[in-house]
Amino acid sequence: MLPQISNSIQLHNQYLPIQDFLNKIDFVIGPPSTSFYDALMFGVEPISICSLEKKRNFFVGSVADDNSKLIKIIFKPKSINEILVYISRNKIFKMNKKLIYILKEQMNYPNCNNSLKKLVSNIEALIKTSKKKNYFLLFFRLYCEIYFLLWSIRNYFIKRKSHSAYFPLNLKTSNFIDNIEN
């Protein structure tokens, strides 16, 4: 468990999925991230801190989340005080047409809410249909494990730790997720 900063502000465990706490909060504040899409789908307002540091743009690549359509229209304060004033207004967040359009265009919103269930249903149907397809799934799983092993080795050499949305969905991570409730 991470430390509680105050009665209303608490750091979230970076190894748990963001969906674990989205229904309990009003704002997500951080650098541009695909987690902002998740926040919006839960009715939580994202606030990007990308404009707090003027030199940030120098380090941002062309495919970074900073350049997404979503980041262009969400609130990007230029100071900490601006964040505090914004939050203190205590207004109720409502999705506007632009946000809904971007979510629909990029995430198939609102149909994406059941996408994991649809994927699992399709995989279960595939497994039941033929043994040839079972071998394909075994090959795919083996390929994924090799890929994540190489990915982990790369991360070790560049000293990057896995966290949040940047983690390998390998057997170790899958087991951790399966045992969260236990």
From residue 169, how far is each of 17, 66, 145, 153 by CA, in Å? 12, 25, 9, 15
Domain final residue pick, 85, 113, 141: 113
Give per-residue pLDDT as tens, 66-91. Answer: 778 888 899 999 999 999 889 888 77
pLDDT in tens, 94-146: 888 999 999 888 887 877 766 767 777 777 777 676 666 667 778 888 888 88
Per the CB < 8 A criterion, the answer to whether 64 and 72 are in contact is no
Domain that holds residue 145: 130-178
Helix (H, G, I), strand (E, B) or coil at 163: strand
Mark whether 148 and 107 lie in a shared domain. Answer: no
pTM to 2 decimal places: 0.61
The number of domains in the chain is 2
Domain membership flag for residue 89: yes
